[in-house]
Each structure stands twice: as C-alpha cells, then as structure tokens.
Amino acid sequence: MDEMKIRVNKIMLRNVAVWWVFTAGSVAVCVAEKMIPPLEDPAPLKLPMRVMDFEDGIIQGERPNDGGPLLAAIRPAGTPWDCSRKLWLLLDVENRGNGQVLVRAEVSSEKNQGWGSNKGAVVVPVGQTKTLPVLIIRGEVGERTEELTGLFDRMRGYPGGHQQTSWRVINASLLNRVKLEFFTDAESVDCKVSNLRGAVDFQLPTMAELKKYYVPATDQYGQNRHADWKFKIKSNEDLAATHAAELQWLEQFKTLEDRTRYGGWTGNVQFEATGHFRTVEKNGVWWLVDPEGHPFWSLGATGFNLNLGRTKTPGIGSWNPRQSNLKLKFGEAWQEEYSRFTHDRIRAWGMNTLGNWSSPDFYRIQKTPYVVAVHFRRPSLHEPDDNAHSSLPDVFHPGYREAVFKAVEKFPKEAVDPWCIGFFIDNELPFQQPVTPAQKALQSGADNASRMVFIAQLKEKYATIGALNKVWKSDFARWDAVAPVKGKWSEERNADLVGFSEAWYRKYYSICRDAMRAGAPDKLYLGSRINHTENSSALNICSEYADVVSINFYDYTPNRFEPPEGFNAPVIIGEYHFGTVSERGLWGSGLCSGMDIQQASDLFRNYTREAVKNRLIVGSHWFKFSDQPLTGRADGENYRIGFVDVTDTPYPEMVKACRAVSDEMYTLRNALEKE
C-alpha cells in the first residue's frame, strides 16, 4: 500500500485532476460496434405523426386536481410506424410553461408481446427544448436467440444495443401509439412536441463477428476491449491516476454542516432520541428519526459488497474483474482500505445509507447507516425450489415460522447496532395480483400446507364438490383436483380467492413482524420490497405489520406510485435506476433507460427529488452502486447502472446529481409540513 501511495502522490503532480472538474461526461466511441449517440444519427427516420386532441403539437392544459399528469397521445399519420431498423424512438419537447416538466412516454405496438410497451422520459427545464428517448426493446431475435445464448448464456445486453429479453417487448415494425404524461409542480402545462423520429441503425453483429471479436469481449480490467472512451483504464498506472484525481476532486466538496454523524438533519426539528432508528409522523409527513433524535431521509444505493461482480466471460472463464481492480488499486489491505475510502467518498457525494445486499466489510466500520437483507431457505408454494427468493413461501407450513425466526437471529450484532436502520425480509415476492397466494396454493402439490388450509376452508363452506362447482363455474371431479379456473368469471369464486389470499398476507407479514420483535426488537421491520405496487391487498396488509412499507419502483418518477385509498404509512423505495447503452462500452440498458449518462443523472436527480417531496416516502435506494459486469452476472444482467464502473471509476454526472439532491433534501422535506 505504501508503494501505491508513493506512485499516487507522484501522479497527482501531473494535471490528471482536470477530469473530475469537467461538467459533462464523455460518450464512448465504439469503433467495432459502430455505436453513435442518438442525437448524432446522420440519417434519422422521420415518422409522420398526429397529436390527438391538441393542435399543432401544442400540449396545453391545467394540471389535474388529483395532482396527476396531464395526458396526451400521438398516433401515426397513416400506417403504423416501422422502426425495425432503428434502435431509438426520439421526440423533441419544448417547455413553454413556467415550471419544469418531466415528460414520460409509453410506446406500444400492434401484436404486442411481454409487457407490450417501451418507456422513456426526459426532464425539460423552463424555456428549453429536450429530446425524449425511448429505447426499442425487440426481445428474442428468432433463430439467432439460440445462437446468442449458446455463446453468451443468458446475457441481457449485446453490442449494438440489442436487449435479449422475453418481456418489455414491442413489435418495432408496427408501432402505433405514444402515450405522453406531463408531470409538473406548476399549475399548468404548456409544451410543444415535434420531430418524432427513429435514430441509430439497429445492428446486431453476426455470429462470426461475435466469435471473432468478442471471445473474449473484455480486456484485463473487465472493460469492453472494442470500445474506447476518454480516461479508459489502460494500465495499472491509470488506476492510480484516476484514484489520485478523485482524491483531489473530493476535497472540493464542502462538508454538509447541517448533518448529524448519521446523516440526519440538525435543522429546527428535534424528536426524542432512543439510540436506534425509528419512524414518526409529524403534521402529515413521515420521517425516519436517527438514533440522536434528528429527522433522517435515507438516500443511498444498494450493493456495497466486495464479493459482487463475478462473471463468466467466454474466452476467459469465471472471474471477478471488479475485485481484481480493487486489489490493484488499494494494495494488500484492499478490503479495509477500500471500505473506509468508500464511506468517505459517499459522504462527500451526499449519500447516507448503505442499501440492500451491502456486506459487513462496509457497515461494521460504523460510519454510514445501513440496512440488512434477510434471505433464507423455506418451504414454498408451487415452485419446487425451496431456496427460490422469488417464490411465495408456504406460510402455513409448520416449519415456516421457525425458519423466519432463525433467519433473523443470524444477525445478533446488527440487531443492537445503532447504525443499523432495519431489516428487509425477502425481495420482490411474486405478488402480481391480490389473489396470487390463493392461485399459487391451488397450483401446489397435495401435501402443501397452504393448499391443505385453503381446501379445508372450501370444504367447510361448500361441503360438496358439486356445490363448489356450481358457485365457481367449474367442473372438478374431486377436491384434490381443485385448481385455478380460467376464462369464466365468478364473483363468489373471486371472493374466496381474495379471502384466502388476505389470510395468507396476514400470516406472512405477522410472522415476519414477530421474528423481528423477538430477534431484533430495536430495528425497523422494513417489509418485503414489493414490486407489484398495484396490489392494494399486499400494500395495505404490509402496512399493518411492517414499520416501513418497502417497494421496488422502476419507473421514471415516483409520482406514478398510487397507494391504496386511505393508505398512511412510511414507504421506502428499495430499488430504482436509469441505465444507458452508450457509456463506457457497456451494453445492458437497465429496467429504465436514459439516452446518455447526463440524461440518466438528470432523471435520477428528478426522481429522487420527487421522492423527497412525497409525504409518505422516507428514503430511496438506487440499484446499484457499481455497474454490473460486461458479460453479465449469474442471471445475465449486464446493466450500466452504477455510480462507478468496473474499475471503480465514478460517473461524475451521477455524483454531482446525488450531491445536489442531498444539499436540498431536508429543506424540501421540511417545507411539506407548511403546505
């Protein structure tokens, strides 16, 4: 480590710190991949359009009374748009009003597949014109799909911007509608939309090209070896240089004087100090409260974990380039050195929370508040894999309660640590519909405990299978054949499914609550990270038992989150992000996409700022701290979604956006009580 420090100090004498001062990011120039920025396409495809219900493309109207967006729609001026040869759909938006506008687009097509729409958004300041981008997701590409998976397994993003997926898919040759939503704090919207076009030729390399140039796809640092960008790491000396530059850059950040050591606010609000984090509602606004009794809004990212970053690269094999780079960058004591540096770094950036899947290497230093992820083996509904985190647990199984209690008890140090905010138990359980637990139970084997409980309830209510069939509009021959019924609506059957499902939700959340009260009584139970937020049953019942309702909300604004009527509980956003396909050689777009890193950072700042201004939301955690590997993690995700890349080099645009939100978040939050 001493040798590294000497080399760093020498390099700092050079003019390397300039990079960290510039405002805009540089876009990767991928010669082999022929990727160009969407706005620089020399031959965009003009798309004739007509704006429904508005003349000359001018969208004017009062903001709806419910606070929602003003709506508009664009249709083809003739036959559906054919963008099969283009990667992006672009629309110019001029803001002629008196307040900033976020414009969200949802593009649909004939012969939809998967979710049947692609989405995009842009933040448009007053008096400016911005371009709204929508990445066109084609999904599987016919017979080539098998070839691609044979070479790269389940990798999601490919050279040229292709996203390999079976969902979020539209028919690019039959685009037929662009739905627009205008979000603003102003009283009205006054925007003009124009110049709808396709941009950037869609070019998925041939298999011969992929085998020749992309086996392996990466250099020794895990970077795309066929892409180049300013300040790409090309030697070990470059690693030292970028670290030196960042150290000098961090010195320019002023200390946040109005913060406690936990990152809480030392302003004009003070609550009772309990030595641990808790929640409080004040004048209709929910807050987290830090151990010293100060208001706290949780701004963080997930995945502060030294073991993340493993990938299987064709031509190389299984390796962890991110970890290799950290060893080169920080020397023999890299784990300790990097963990401590990370706390100082994110404090300067304005973050105050280590989000889910962060490891003890980071949080046991006790310099940044953190959350704990609880996952464990348990009996499941329908799915045969007991360890499937995405399956529903068999909550009526006699061993389930014990399994939850033991899982929480594995964190005795965290349970008493004042820096620990609380525990998430599970992640993104498949709550697609309010009746999903009942349907999953009926799809399970005869010995499944939840199924047996549901069948017993039905027997008690209907006595005979014939009576059940009459009400359910079904034709089951016996009780052990009862299964979900398709096609025929029955209000009584739906009521039975809802009744059992609500009992299942209560059983699930009450057991998790009890486990927390027994194993970590001073920590907040942060719920299960619900990603199907349209499921009002799950949200309402979770709020009865969890201290904080957690949601993973991948969209372009948290203002699209619609809690059930009468819902009043603190909410934390466990995941959100905005990826790109044109930065630092990475191919995966993420679940929400920006056109470039500057636009992605604008979306991040706007999203987080809007979350701060929501009376229910007490925090938001970006997914995730570092980019995913170029050739994908175990499930194939290879998204460019980090605050840092595989070499641990930050994206300055994201850092500056984070600090800007942090600078103003407590002032914004406190102002809600005066409205």
Q: Name the burial class of residue 192, with classes exposed (0-12), middle (13-18) and buried (19+) by CB atoms within 10 angstroms of its CB.
A: middle
Are the C-beta atoms of 505 and 542 separated by less than 8 Å? Answer: yes
Query: Can you give the pLDDT at residue 434?
Result: 96
The residue among 578, 590, 596, 622 whose CA lies nearest residue 137 is 590
Are the C-beta atoms of 239 and 222 separated by less than 8 Å? Answer: no
Are the C-beta atoms of 618 and 669 separated by less than 8 Å? Answer: no
Q: CA 351, CA 114: separation in Å to the nearest integer? A: 36
Residue 131 has pLDDT above 90, yes or no: yes
For Cα atoms 68, 73, 77, give the angle at the middle one, nearest 5 degrees: 175
Are the C-beta atoms of 181 and 136 separated by less than 8 Å? Answer: no
Residues 6 or more apart in contact with residue 445 via CB below 8 angstroms: 451
Beta-bridge partner residues of 49: 76
Query: Can you give the pLDDT at residue 30?
Result: 38
> In Å, how far are 18, 223, 353, 392, 621 from 662, measured between CA atoms?
24, 31, 12, 37, 13
Query: Can you give the pLDDT at residue 139?
Result: 78
3-state secondary structure string across 545-558: HCCCEEEECCCCCH
Instruction: Provide the strand spans (E) within 139-216.
Output: 175-184, 188-201
Query: Can you give the pLDDT at residue 601?
Result: 98
Task: Please give the class, per CATH, of domain 38-204.
Answer: mainly beta
Q: Name the burial class of residue 39, with classes exposed (0-12), middle (13-18) and buried (19+) by CB atoms within 10 angstroms of its CB.
A: middle
Q: CA 324, CA 309: separation in Å to the nearest integer? A: 10
* Two structure tokens written together for 187: 């009283």
Q: Which residue has the tokens 């979770």?
A: 542
Are the C-beta atoms of 638 and 631 separated by less than 8 Å? Answer: yes
Residues 6 or more apart in contact with residue 299 via CB below 8 angstroms: 263, 350, 351, 352, 353, 608, 619, 620, 658, 661, 662, 665
Mean pLDDT of 84-111: 95
Q: CA 315, CA 403: separation in Å to the nearest integer? A: 42
Work out whether strand 524-525 and strand 58-62 pair parallel, antiparallel, or are unpaired: unpaired
Query: What 3-state DSSP class applies to 18?
Result: helix
Beta-bridge partner residues of 577: none
Query: Can you give the pLDDT at residue 486?
Result: 87
The residue among 225, 436, 256, 177 whose CA lies nearest residue 321 is 225
Residue 92 has pLDDT above 50, yes or no: yes
Query: Tell me: the pLDDT tens digits for 9-44?
Result: 333 323 333 333 333 333 333 345 557 899 999 999
* Two structure tokens written together for 593: 């996409």
Query: Can you give the pLDDT at residue 675?
Result: 57
Work out whether strand 420-425 and strand 370-374 pair parallel, antiparallel, or are unpaired: parallel
Axis crossing angle, helix 449-462 with helix 465-472, rounded to the nearest 10: 90
Query: Can you give the pLDDT at residue 6?
Result: 32
Residue 368 has pLDDT above 50, yes or no: yes
Query: Tell me: the pLDDT tens digits for 318-358?
Result: 999 999 999 999 999 999 999 999 999 999 999 999 999 99
Chain CA centroid to CA 315, Å: 31
Are the C-beta atoms of 193 and 74 separated by less than 8 Å? Answer: yes
Are the C-beta atoms of 656 and 611 separated by less than 8 Å? Answer: no
Q: CA 651, CA 649: separation in Å to the nearest integer? A: 7
Query: Can you give the pLDDT at residue 384?
Result: 55
Mean pLDDT of 639-658: 97
Residue 452, φ and ψ in degrees, nearest 5: -60, -40
DSSP state of 26: P
Please give the share of the chain, as a percent, with pLDDT higher than 70.
93
Mean pLDDT of 242-253: 92
Query: Tell me: the pLDDT tens digits for 504-546?
Result: 999 999 999 999 999 999 999 999 999 999 999 999 999 999 9
pTM value is 0.93
Work out whether strand 370-374 and strand 549-552 pair parallel, antiparallel, or are unpaired: unpaired
The residue among 137, 116, 124 whose CA lies nearest residue 193 is 124
Query: Tell me: the pLDDT tens digits for 162-182?
Result: 998 877 789 999 999 999 999
Query: Tell me: the pLDDT tens digits for 194-217?
Result: 999 999 999 888 899 899 989 999
The CB-side HSE value for 161 (13 A sphere, CA atoms) comes to 29
Are the C-beta atoms of 590 and 33 separated by less than 8 Å? Answer: no
Mean pLDDT of all residues belonging to the chain? 91
User: Per-domain residue ranges for the chain?
Assistant: 38-204
Query: Tell me: the pLDDT tens digits for 224-234?
Result: 999 988 889 99
- Mean pLDDT is lowest, of 132-146, 235-249, 278-292, for 132-146
Confidence of residue 3 (pLDDT cuts 50, 70, 90): very low
Residue 273 has pLDDT above 70, yes or no: yes
**Type of residue at 366:** Q
Note the residue count of the chain: 675
Confidence of residue 652 (pLDDT cuts 50, 70, 90): very high
